Amino acid sequence: MKYLEAELKLKGKNVNFNEQDVDFYWFVKDTGIFATNQLYYSPYAGEGWRCLNKSQTYGGLTQFIPEGYRKHITIDLAPAAVTTFKCVAVYNDTTLSATIQIQNKVAQTSINITSSAGTQFYFDTGRTTLTCNVTTDQTGLKYFWGYRTSDGDFVSLPDKTKSIDVNI
């Protein structure tokens, strides 16, 4: 079994999780999480992170249940060659976080995006087709397209297919 383990230091000393009250929230990088009303969204990590903690729903509001300092990692959580995880520790009203990238030496998955207009073009000059090329032995892939505005907001596009036509 593979685990991620959090370590929390205050003033250079390790915090003893058996003696101190520390809540842990675990996340995996997921660009499909882009809105606060999505099922796996948590304000502890924000957009682009899927919460892995178990959850409970009260009156239509989903709350994630804090977990311990150790997270069991299974192949379905890290199917790509590189997967990024985040741990958020809440301790004495302070929120601390760290990320780690896990390499899956067994994964045969690769992803790249190609453009029918090439890799260099002038804006406001036409259209291009973006295609997401995935090499994997997994089936049932889901595609999500979106972009960031100049204000930094994420806008999800309705097209959920492998290719999408966009203005350039």
Angle in degrees, CA 163, 158, 149, rounded to 5: 95
Q: How many CB atoms lie within 10 A of CB 159?
A: 14
Write the DSSP symbol of residue 89: E
Looking at the predicted structure, is the pLDDT value of residue 168 above 90?
Answer: no
pLDDT tens sequence across 102-150: 887 776 667 888 888 887 777 778 888 888 888 776 677 788 888 888 8
Q: What is the pLDDT of residue 97?
A: 94
**84 pLDDT exceeds 90?**
yes
Domain boundaries, the chain: 2-103, 110-167
Dmax over CA atoms of the chain, in Å, equals 62
Query: pLDDT (tens digit, 9 = 90+) per residue, 37-82?
Result: 888 999 999 999 999 999 998 887 889 999 999 999 888 888 777 8
User: Which residues make Cβ contacts (< 8 Å) with residue 108, sequence separation at least 6?
Assistant: 135, 136, 137
Tokens at residue 66, please?
């804090």
Q: What mean pLDDT do residues 141-167 have?
A: 83
pLDDT in tens, 36-48: 888 899 999 999 9
